[in-house]
Structure 1
Amino acid sequence: MELPWTELLKTCRRLIFMRILYMKKKTFVVFALVFGILFFETGSFGVENSPPNSPSVFVPENRFKFDPVLEGTEIKHDFIVQNKGTAPLNIEKVRTG
């Protein structure tokens, strides 16, 4: 026969475990609701939200790692910039990083 305090301990453990499971379910439901509201508010239904006749920039390679070179050596790399929109794309400011 088990001692009364061990039975009490087992009951407490079960209650704590059930409470944790309930909190996880509650947290999941709250997260799902918030995500759903944000998803529908932004109109993310797979439809692009760009106005008609607007430019859309596409850069397939936005970073390039140069090999080590001696100081003072001139190096070049061409980045491809494509306009996938329907209006002209004006590139006005370019900065190096």
Structure 2
Amino acid sequence: MSKNKQVQLENKTRWTGMERTRFANGNAIIHLGNEEDKVQTRIMLERLETTLDKRLRDEQAGFRQDRPCTEYISTIIERSLESQTPLHAAFVDIQKA
């Protein structure tokens, strides 16, 4: 793979269509790579997702494609009610956190 050029930008700058890495201080680094690198990266990502999806247990479904959390949450609530055990739950909206 060839070397990508990295440019550090302030948070106020808006860039579309480029890969960005955000840091805690609000700055971002964009990666200006060539198309060959982007295609190879995409192929590797798809292969990893396919392999990992086969290896992960069904219980680890919350953040996987086509497996919403809501079904699993309702199952946990039902089982807690059936067994009459106390259930404590906390929901955090990661996007707003």
- Return the structure number with greater strand share: 2
- Structure ID, larger Rg: 1
- Settle same-fold status: TM greater than 0.5: no
**What range is the shorter-chain TM-score in?**
under 0.3
Q: What TM-score comes out, normalization by structure 2 length?
A: 0.26
